[in-house]
Amino acid sequence: MAAAIDAIDAVLGPDGLLARAVDGFAWREQQQAMAEQVAAAIDTGGTLICEAGTGTGKTYAYLVPALLSARKVIVATGTRNLQDQLFHRDLPALRRSLQMPVQVALLKGRGNYLCRHRLQRAVDDVAALRPEVRRDLSAVRDWASVTRRGDIAEVGLAEDAAVWASVTSTTDNCLGQDCPEWQRCHLVDARRRAQEADLVVINHHLLCADMVLREEGFGEVLPGADAVIVDEAHQLPDIASQFFGNSLSSRQLLDLARDLAAAQRADAADTPQLRQSAAALTALVPRLRSGFGAGDRRGAWHEIDPQGEVAQGLVELADALEETGEILVALAPRSADLAHCRTRATGLAQRLQALLDDAGDAAEHGADSGGVRWFELRGQGFRLHQTPLDVAEVFRSYRARRDTAWVYTSATLAVGDSFAHFSAQVGAEDAATERWDSPFDYTRQALLFTPPGMPEPGAADYDSRVAEAALEVIALSRGRAFCLFTSHRALRLAAAHFEGRLDYPLLVQGQAPRAELIDRFRRLGDAVLLGTASFWEGVDVRGEALSCVIIDRLPFASPGDPLLQGRIEALRRRGRNPFREFQLPKAVIALKQGAGRLIRDPADRGVLVLCDPRLRARSYGQVFFNSLPPMTRTRDLAAVQAFFAMPTSM
């Protein structure tokens, strides 16, 4: 271990290789200390949970010991964007500096790779495609002829472009080894490269997919490894809950209907019943969505009227899937596509039946021990869920079956100095824990302002009072502000309140894609951006363009959220305190994420505005204060004015 520490010092130390070779690299004591702890975990095969404050440089703090270890390492990040950043920017820079012949690979979920077979089917069936799919299909076909890796990120099309559903595969519709393009499959090639690499970059979804397959005894997605490093680990428990339950979506149904129709035209033209089945499924989906009502929302299963339109539609859907499967029994031998359509129809029917089966009164109220049953509405689509209340045992089992070191890291894992909330969620109560504060000088760089005289968040005029307080601060900050909201409703009210009253450009979530809004914000230099959940984390705006972050409420999850209700009821049944053990820790971590947007660089200065009076009026407010960086606090608007008037060189 001493040799590993010496090797890390030689790279990350004040006189190390990176300090000499990389422009702008600055030695950080916290970064080096974290790298040493990661190296120790890899060396001993232990489990480490560690929080590294903003500016620590945690990416290098885990990549350097991973590369130096000469072992097989998997790095799991929170999003595909972070995957690409690691693989295309951070790892190449380190490999050049270290001059190490380490083989690295990038592995994404199957939906990120072109499926040659589905592309050819789309081209052959182009007349049946929607106009927006036909519009982009030629660009995809041109790219397909030259791409080596088949990663759809190479194409200059939006991630949610309609064409991708027609030219990529899912777990449901992939033909596997029955596919005529199996030998040239981009996903198979990517998995082969991952098997051969020393370090593989994946995302949380892929890690969870591997857990599911191993848990069910159906093999694996990921290669074996000596160490797994999970970055942005605070996101992992929620992502895992999605994977370890049962779900059925309108997209899965429409994809099946579309593939049924295509397979019927290609391989079963003499069976009009199959075309009728596809048409019936296609018609059922919008009827079901309409029955749920307008608007995006989440709802508990018990909100579905047993005698109502949705319940009747679900029964009809179950019958339609069963009938489709029966029709396909005789047709399946004709082609791999028809055989897989049969498997999909049967599988979706089983998922739906599991959701419909009566599991007792407690299940009907979303509180059964098997999980919470609920639905989610978004746009024209819906998803039905049964989500487990606790995924810790799945993590314990997965770790127990792999002789592997584990490192979980993020800028936001602890509540105060405690990791109990996170460690319990991933079944790692016995893990070693470490926490390093940010190297930034928050007492000099940041001011925390809590506006005086704010009403309780439940008051009728609360949102308008927040908007007024925000306008006062924005006038002093000269724009350059993020306003972060805990609900879309509050955001819309603030946007209406600001209209015509700002002297600065106003950017509102929903006006354009998230990345485009952030780019505009940077370029304008004095804009005010209003955002909800997706803007609370993963946004890095350095410099004076972002000098103020305003947060409307403490980010407690909505009490009407069906998953939250289920977890609260489950904890109460066990005699536990849901607020202290779950709701409060989740809100603290979310607030840390939002507040973390403010100071991203040693030269940054800014004001954090927390409008919620519960910070000072409730005893738990101190838990939030104790979890934030040590900013100077004030309730005096004049102090905010003085802060912004201060020369930036001070």
Q: Decide whether 2-103+197-241+391-436 matches 442-645 in CATH topology.
A: yes
Strand ranges of the sheet holding 606-610, from the earlier edge strand across to the other edge: 506-508, 528-531, 481-484, 548-551, 606-610, 446-449, 632-634
What is the reported pLDDT for 6?
86
Angle between helices 2-12 and 29-44 (to 10 degrees): 150
More confident residue, 209 or 472: 472
Distance between CA atoms of residues 507 and 531, nearest Å:
9
Highest average pLDDT, of 158-167, 234-243, 367-376, 474-483, comes from: 474-483
User: Which listed CATH number (3.40.720.10, 1.10.10.10, 2.30.30.20, 3.40.50.300) goes with 2-103+197-241+391-436?
Assistant: 3.40.50.300
**Domain positions in the chain:** 2-103+197-241+391-436, 110-181, 246-387, 442-645
Digit-coded pLDDT (tens) for 216-255: 554 566 778 899 999 999 999 999 998 888 999 999 999 9
Q: What is the mean pLDDT of residues 179-190?
A: 94
What is the reported pLDDT for 41?
96
pLDDT band, residue 274 (cuts 50/70/90): very high
Residue 215 reports pLDDT greater than 80: no
Residue 366 reports pLDDT greater than 60: no
Distance between CA atoms of residues 547 and 521, nearest Å:
12
Distance between CA atoms of residues 407 and 448, nearest Å:
32
Distance between CA atoms of residues 367 and 566, nearest Å:
5
Q: What is the mean pLDDT of residues 276-294?
A: 95
Residue 275 reports pLDDT greater than 90: yes
pLDDT, mean over the chain:
92
More confident residue, 128 or 189: 189
Please give the helix or strand (H or E) that residue 609 lies within, else none. strand 606-610
CATH class of 442-645: alpha beta
Distance between CA atoms of residues 304 and 292, nearest Å:
8
Strand partners, 73: 199, 227
Q: Are 54 and 600 in contact (CB under 8 A)?
A: yes
What is the reported pLDDT for 436?
97
What is the reported pLDDT for 509?
95
Integer distance in angstroms from the first to the last C-alpha of the chain?
A: 42
